[in-house]
Structure 1
Amino acid sequence: MRFHLVDAFADQAFSGNTAGVVLLDAPAGERWMQDVAAEFKHPETAFVVTSGEGPAPLRWFTPTVEVALCGHATLATAHVLGGEQTFSTLSGELRCRAEDGWVTLDFPADPPAPVAGAEQDRVARALGGLPVEYLGRGEHDLLAVLRGGADVRGLQPDLDAIADLGPRALIVTAPGDRDGIDMVSRVFGPAVGIDEDPVTGSAHCTLAPYWARRSGRGELVGEQASARGGIVRMDLRGDRVLLAGRAITVASGELHV
């Protein structure tokens, strides 16, 4: 079986978020896929069946668990396969297009519903006491809005406290603080084995509807301000979000087990 290592949401190697992409001739066992993902140790490893007709089955695993939706590993898979692709996933059918150096993902929007009271206080404590201007919950993640980009960039959160919050991850965001950037974010997912995700496509399914409502614009550009960093373009269209980014293949090879 062939595999590729791809830096997604990146315009140069060793930036963005790395994903493993394993090309399968037939569906594989769940335990084997989890073992491969644990061996690779990347935030996500994608397993895609490339034989047969119709939408290609696609699954995603962190080093510790399977997840229902992953943007950067889907982008990496579409980058490896090229052209237009339709994937069958735990989140339904996902359509992608690789063209002119960009990959566009058609994902379901995940607008957050407001959360208040004790939960907001718990999140604020996990973030070192920073005031949380808004707390929302989407299907997968919590969304905490802070006052400014410097607060997001300088965060040193309590990861154990974030893991205890319950959802897959905590997205922390604030208005953009440099030209051409509408919002800045970071994503912490210790509950699923990822202390901080470098760039999280699926988090922008929640970021896009929040910031579109706040700004009055559907087309937005986000910066995920992790150590590796990455840029995600968003275009909110009703209950769908088009996410666009670049990708670079940094290695490929063959699995022997």
Structure 2
Amino acid sequence: MNKQNLIKVQILNAFVDNNKGGNPAGVVFDADDLSIKEKQEIAAKIGYSETAFVSKSNIADYKLDFFSPNRQIAHCGHATVATFSYLRQLNLLKKNNVTKETIDGIRKIKLKGELAYMEQLAPRYIDVQKRENMILKSLGIKKSDLWKNAPVTLVNTGNSFILIPVKNKSILRKLKPDMGLITEISDEFDLIGLYPFTLLNDNNGKDASTRMFGPRYNIMEEAGTGMAAGPLACYLFDILKLNKNRFFIQQGEFMEVPSPSLIIVELEIDNGNIKSLMAGGRGVLKMEKHIVLTRNTE
């Protein structure tokens, strides 16, 4: 016998910049009774880059599972920020330091007012020079478009991204991503996606402007990627030697439908080394949707 269930999904924009723009995520609360198959079905029907499913946890304050439209993912920065920022706005979080359980372990969450920050791990850097030409080709750029003395590098603080430093915003704007080639590269290096960026010096308080292409996860381009902004902040500190522990990362400005996002990354430095980091921002509720889920009760 089949039974239809109506699943309520909150649509929240994370990393909003002055309450505008941001990256939309689906958030499903009270998801304890949903199976992995059902969560995947809901995420596919919602269609956003990630949907978070919030359940009770015996080892943390909440358990979060993340699904893109086509697969489960270990961590998602913007869906985490959306979830915990909204919980604070609902007055369901009184503490400033809480935890989330994921399929990849427990992570710390820090609340500052309505801003939510998610813990990421100390960075790991991997040389991808052997595939540099292929990476550049996948974005439609040349070696001369890159910053000098700034290598194309894979950085992992929980998820893997390849960071590509380009000279200016004009180059960043005019990228021509080849999704098939980006998927091939992502499969080879087990990436979420490519994260091209450029440094900013226009006195607007932001350190870098970025784009994220993750077709392997059905993400053609994303407006705000907390799990990529973390690696970028580490790259800026460790490789480009920008001696600061707080970075403001802009993303989403050059999407087909622009949705500028602001991601704040705070590094924990010990004797010149990054021990861990927090990436965060604010989430804003945009709408509520209902998904019809058909369950077999036999």
Which TM-score applies when normalising by structure 1? 0.91
Q: Deviations over 1:54-107 (max 9, x none)?
A: 432111001111111110000011022223431101332122234433222222
- Kindly tell me: are residues 111 and 186 of structure 1, through their superposed partners in 2, closer, same or farther at Cα, counting changes over 3 Å? farther
Partner of 1:164, secondary structure, is: helix
Aligned twin of 1:121: 133
Aligned twin of 1:228: 259
Partners of 1:109 and 1:206 within 8 A in 2: no
Aligned twin of 1:100: 113
Partners of 2:8 and 2:28 within 8 A in 1: yes
The yes-or-no answer on 1:8 pairing with 2:8 is: no
The yes-or-no answer on 1:31 pairing with 2:37 is: yes
Aligned twin of 1:64: 70
- Kindly tell me: are residues 127 and 253 of structure 1, through their superposed partners in 2, closer, same or farther at Cα, counting changes over 3 Å? closer
- Stretch moving more, 202-211 or 100-109: 100-109
The yes-or-no answer on 1:89 pairing with 2:102 is: yes
Partner of 2:225, secondary structure, is: coil
- The CA distance in 2 between the partners of 1:13 and 1:65, in whole Å, is 30
Aligned twin of 1:168: 192
- Kindly tell me: are residues 100 and 160 of structure 1, through their superposed partners in 2, closer, same or farther at Cα, counting changes over 3 Å? same
Q: What is the one-letter code of the residue matched to 2:108? A: R
Counterpart of 2:153 (choices 136, 140, 149) is 136
State how many pairs are aligned: 256
**Larger-gyration structure (1/2):** 2
Q: Deviations over 1:6-46 (max 9, x none)?
A: 00001466621000110125252111000000000011000
Aligned twin of 2:271: none
Deviation at 1:136, TM superposition (A): 0.8
- Kindly tell me: are residues 155 and 177 of structure 1, through their superposed partners in 2, closer, same or farther at Cα, counting changes over 3 Å? farther
Deviation at 1:254, TM superposition (A): 5.3
Aligned twin of 2:244: 217
- The CA distance in 2 between the partners of 1:164 and 1:178, in whole Å, is 35
C-alpha RMSD of the superposition: 2.1
Partner of 1:42, secondary structure, is: coil
Deviation at 1:173, TM superposition (A): 1.1
Q: What is the one-letter code of the residue matched to 1:138? A: V
The yes-or-no answer on 1:184 pairing with 2:209 is: yes
- Stretch moving more, 182-191 or 150-159: 150-159
Partner of 1:112, secondary structure, is: strand
- Kindly tell me: are residues 111 and 52 of structure 1, through their superposed partners in 2, closer, same or farther at Cα, counting changes over 3 Å? closer
Partner of 1:32, secondary structure, is: helix
Partner of 1:69, secondary structure, is: coil
Partner of 1:144, secondary structure, is: strand
Partner of 1:78, secondary structure, is: helix
Partners of 2:57 and 2:101 within 8 A in 1: no
Q: What is the one-letter code of the residue matched to 1:120? A: E
- Stretch moving more, 100-109 or 37-46: 100-109
Partner of 1:233, secondary structure, is: strand
- The CA distance in 1 between the partners of 2:20 and 2:206, in whole Å, is 21
Partner of 1:125, secondary structure, is: helix
- The CA distance in 2 between the partners of 1:108 and 1:52, in whole Å, is 22
Partner of 1:18, secondary structure, is: strand
Deviation at 1:223, TM superposition (A): 0.7
Which TM-score applies when normalising by structure 2? 0.79
Partner of 2:83, secondary structure, is: helix
Percent identity over paired residues: 24
Q: What is the one-letter code of the residue matched to 1:208? A: A
Q: What is the one-letter code of the residue matched to 1:250? A: K
Counterpart of 1:201 (choices 214, 219, 226) is 226
